[in-house]
Amino acid sequence: MAKEIDLWNPWHGCRKISEGCLNCYVYRIDSSFGKNPEIVEKTKDFFLPLKRNKSGSLKIPPLARVYTCLSSDFFLEDADPWRAQAWQIIKARPDLHFCIITKRIHRFYEKLPADWADGYENVTIISTCENQKRADFRLPILLDAPIKNREITCEPLLENLDIKKYLKTGKIKRVIAGGESGPNARICRHEWVESLRRQCVEANVPFSFKQTGARYFYGGKIYSIPRNKQHSQAAKSGMDFEAE
Ligand code: SF4
């Protein structure tokens, strides 16, 4: 049975740091409400993984994969005062698996728990690599850091990437690729996705084509894909690869 997927946003708000942030949905959504997306605040859900329903059951059920900090960045400077407590919450739920997507792997060591050792088993750190420049800066840091589970997400994929040498290490458990959504989405080209898939197959690393994005270039044409079809169209392409 597939594991339940949950979200935990212990803080909200962010600051743009790299090319992938240009059309960030946190900025887009906050701005549409007249809210300043750069004001970073703890949310009312800070303790969500520890909370229980009236019936006494945990609000996030055991075995769920918990995507963490999707409306901010877990390693954001503004969140330094809260991160130690967030790590304690993560440690207190070894029955969950926390997936942390970051563009700030260079800040990984800030407020790392004293008992981290070579990593908590229930944490996957997913480094974003939207272009070659960011891949070449972030992936060596990701690979050197004491982490039990490492993944890469190339979203929004902005150009052709060569990540063969990083995949060869055998330390990357999955690569995810996807285009950009939103009204100003940049084009994602099919051959970039194919190339990443090919590199993963060669290195026997699982690959997921998560979503096409809003503007997808395929067979000499740009396709405009509505938000509600971006995941299903990617799934239909049959590009996913599970390692042997
Ligand atoms: S790091 Fe993520 S949440 Fe923060 S501005 Fe960039 S895209 Fe948005």
Q: Is the CB of 24 under 6 A from ligand 1?
A: yes
Give the span between the Cα atoms of 162 and 147, in whole angstroms: 23
Which tens digit of pLDDT belongs to each residue from 200-232? 999 999 999 999 999 999 999 999 999 999 999
What mean pLDDT do residues 39-63 have? 97
Task: List the one residue out of 29, 49, 48 whose CA is nearest residue 37.
Answer: 29
Measure 78 CA to ligand 1 centroid, in angstroms. Answer: 13
Task: Break the chain into its structural domains and give their ranges.
Answer: 5-236
Give the span between the Cα atoms of 206 and 183, in whole angstroms: 31
**5-236, CATH topology level:** TIM Barrel (3.20.20)
Cα 230 to Cα 20, 101, 137, 226, distances in angstroms: 18, 20, 29, 6
Count of CB atoms situated within 10 Å of the CB of 125:
21
Q: Which of 18, 72, 105, 157 to mutate to test the pocket of ligand 1 (most atoms within 8 A of CB)?
A: 72
Q: Is the peptide bond before 146 cis (omega within 30 degrees of 0)?
A: no
Global pTM value: 0.96
Q: Is the CB of 14 under 6 A from ligand 1?
A: yes
